[in-house]
Amino acid sequence: PGPRMESLPEAVLIRILASIPAVDLVLVCRLVCCQWKNLVDGAALWILKCQQEGLAGADSQENAENWQNFYFLSKKRKNLIRNPCGEEDLQHWGEVENGGDGWKIEELPGDFGKEFPSEEVHKYFVTSYEWCRKAQVIDLRAEGYWEELMDTTQPKVAVRDWYAGRSDAGCLYELCVKLLSENEDVLAEYKSETITIPQDNDANWTEISHTFSDYGPGVRFVRFEHGGQDTLFWKGWYGVRVTNSSVTVEP
């Protein structure tokens, strides 16, 4: 018979364990024996898995205090906003305020508009002559971000949005994002100023962003809200345009 697993050099055992799916490492392999538990809880195994799967970026891995969390956050990283570009009409957007003629979805670049910087974005939401607002509430646990991770590691929560006016009309834009507790108490908040785009603007798309960090324990939801209107009170859809909204939990 060949050598038993426990007699293998640690470096060899780490390479073998690194080929096992991460969830099985945590839920199964970690329970086999003290040696395997120490390896699964240690950095070397997760550094190797990150390297094998191209997750060890030049900057991030040097500052990753917990490599296991870094691995899982990197693998799970995605935009948590659903329907960010209007491809599904207003689906997934709740608490909708339809001032004036209400929200409308249009194809890029739109009248008196500019193409979006990314070719992957084809549509945008546009507001009317009174305030239009819409929101999404993201359930972090439902997305796989467990309580201990949010309370102890407190990964950064990055928020981005894109807005533009049409060149023949002025408009207003606002963004408000809140980190909420289980009972929906506000634990952290970012609110932009009311941004005014003048008439006869260049219609270029502008990105706005904010990153939450060190926000304390208890965060369970993210509430994303944005909106605007035109400043000329023209009937129709001459207000601010928004698209490609995103909320990501960063490793």
Backbone angles phi, psi at 17, to 5 degrees: -65, -30
Neighbours of 186 (CB within 10 A): 10
| pLDDT over 70 at 10, yes or no | yes
Provide the residue type at 130 as one letter.
E
Can you tell me which residue has the tokens 């426990």? 6
Q: What is the pLDDT of residues 70-113, one digit of tens each?
A: 888 888 889 999 999 999 999 999 988 999 999 999 999 999 99
CATH of domain 5-71: 1.20.1280.50
User: 200, 215 in Cβ contact below 8 A?
Assistant: no
CA distances to 9, 16, 225 from 13, in Å: 6, 5, 49
Cα torsion through 235, 128, 163, 157, rounded to 10:
180
**Residues 250, 157 contacting (CB under 8 angstroms):** yes
Question: Would you list the domain boundaries of the chain?
Answer: 5-71, 94-249
> Taking a C-beta distance cutoff of 8 angstroms, is the pair 207, 165 a contact?
no
The pTM score is 0.82
Res 58: pLDDT: 43
Q: What class does CATH assign to 94-249?
A: mainly beta
- Both structure tokens of 169: 């009309």
- Give tens-digit pLDDT for 122-167: 999 999 999 999 999 999 999 988 888 899 889 999 999 999 999 9
44 CB neighbour count, 10 Å cutoff? 14
Mean pLDDT for 17-37 is: 84
In this predicted structure, the answer to whether residue 218 has a pLDDT above a threshold of 50 is yes
Position 36 pLDDT exceeds 90: no
Q: Any idea which residue has 């094998």 for tokens? A: 52
When the pLDDT of each residue in the chain is averaged and rounded to a whole number, the result is 90
